[in-house]
Homo-oligomer: A and B are copies of this chain.
Amino acid sequence: MSRSTGRRLGRAGIRDVAAAAGVSITTVSDALNGKGRLPDATRSHVREVAERLGYRPSAAARTLRTGKSGLIGLTVTTYGDEPFTFTEFAYFAEMARAATSAALARGYALVILPATSRHDVWSNVALDGTVVIDPADGDPVVTELVRHGLPVVSDGRPGGTLPVTGWVDNDHEAAVLGLLDHLADAGARRIGLLTGNTTDTYTRLSTTAYIRWCERVGQDPVYESYPAHDPCAGAVAADRLLARPDRPDAVYGLFDPNGTDLLAAARRYGLRVPDDLLLVCCSESTVYATTEPPITTLSLKPRRIGTAVVQILIDAIEGLGDGRPVEQVIPTDLIVRTSSQRRSPRTTVSPPRGPAGD
């Protein structure tokens, strides 16, 4: 007696296809997956029947059987109360987009997960590996994942001795040093820094690079720090920085909104940019191309980082690389605009047309 008949409702299973095509389950599986030794006639016949029945293999069953889910976790460390905070909006959006594209191109999908240690969510989804953005020192989630044998690749050099499968990062120190040199070349005598008071690697490396540069050129460090996840605090800190008695004549802002914050603060103090104050900030946002004046930005190349992270992770999942951790450094890109050039009297980015009523 065949109990395979009489599926009351719900989707067609592989059994139904087998029955309808008059072959065995094995043959259906082989035909659809391109395995086994089957004549083309059988293969196409099975495919046709499957198509007609609207058959879709059960992802859960396949995952259970093969041990591969085709899912990659994407985690952002959380700052405030929300289980999921993006600082550096544009950076994250760009990075996530690139990572998604790269994953999809290789047949994987991305799952957004919180970086908290609430196991209930993590263990409810079968992951083949995980991308972690800016993991904290000795992050318990990462440690746990690695202990269970899951590949983990991080965006940002992992702090401490986090045993990740690989990481991708910029050379933040070199970027900051180069940028400060650029400002000094443009005539800056005292360069200030707007930085965060968080302990993530990006903030730490950038700040120490700044301090070292100051030591090297014999300048007293002039900086203000604030909680980077609070947008209002950024404006306040920018104001504080320009209110100091030892007011800098150039400022680098570590975070995306710092450019507009500093610009607004400069206006309040009657400082002209770039004449009285040179400005650079780290951002992926295109708005800085059309501010008045356009602001020089440091791009961390999130697209390249997102792509690279996913490639490394999938290579590890599929056992392509050797077992050793992969470490990759992506160069940054300083997009020089008016705000950091004292020589050039007019904008360097070309307006769409040139009908300016000058």
Contact = CB atoms under 8 A, between A and B. Distances in A.
Contacts of A119: 56
Given A59-B125, A124-B107, A356-B269, A101 B89 contact: no
A324 B234 CA distance: 47
A220 to B, nearest CB: 23
Interface string A74-108: 00000000111110011011001100110011010
Contact of A83 (B56, B83, B104, B110): B104
A355 interface: yes
Chain A at the B interface: SS class: mixed
A240 B199 CA distance: 47
Contacts of A105: 83
A267 interface: yes
Contacts of A58: 64, 126
B351 A148 contact: no
Interface residues of A, number: 74
Given A60-B64, A96-B112, 12 more contacts: A60-B69, A69-B125, A70-B124, A82-B97, A83-B101, A83-B105, A84-B100, A84-B104, A109-B111, A110-B111, A264-B292, A268-B357
A348 interface: no
B290 A56 contact: no
Interface string A44-85: 000000000010111111111000011100000000001111
Nearest to A118: B104
Given A111-B111, A112-B109, A123 B290 contact: no
B100 A112 contact: yes
A84 B97 contact: yes
A56 to B, nearest CB: 5
Given A236-B352, A263-B292, A351-B268, A70 B123 contact: no
A268 B356 contact: yes
Contacts of A147: 54
A239 B353 CA distance: 8
For A93, A110, A268, which residue has the most chain B Cβ atoms within 10 angstroms?
A: A268
A104 B123 contact: no
A270 interface: yes
A149 B11 CA distance: 9
A149 B54 CA distance: 13
A107 to B, nearest CB: 7
A286 B109 contact: no
Interface in A264-320: 264, 267-270, 285-287, 290-292
A355 B111 contact: no
Contacts of A113: 109
Given A93-B92, A111-B71, A353-B239, A59 B287 contact: no
A4 B133 CA distance: 39
- In the A-B complex, list the 5 residue pairs whose CB atoms are closest, starting with the nearest: A60-B63, A264-B290, A60-B64, A59-B126, A268-B356
A353 B96 CA distance: 36
Contacts of A70: 121, 124-125
Interface in A241-269: 243, 257, 260-261, 263-264, 267-269
A57 B125 CA distance: 10
Given A90-B89, A104-B83, A263-B290, A57 B123 contact: yes
A7 B46 CA distance: 38
8 contacts: A60-B69, A70-B124, A107-B124, A111-B112, A236-B353, A243-B355, A268-B351, A269-B357
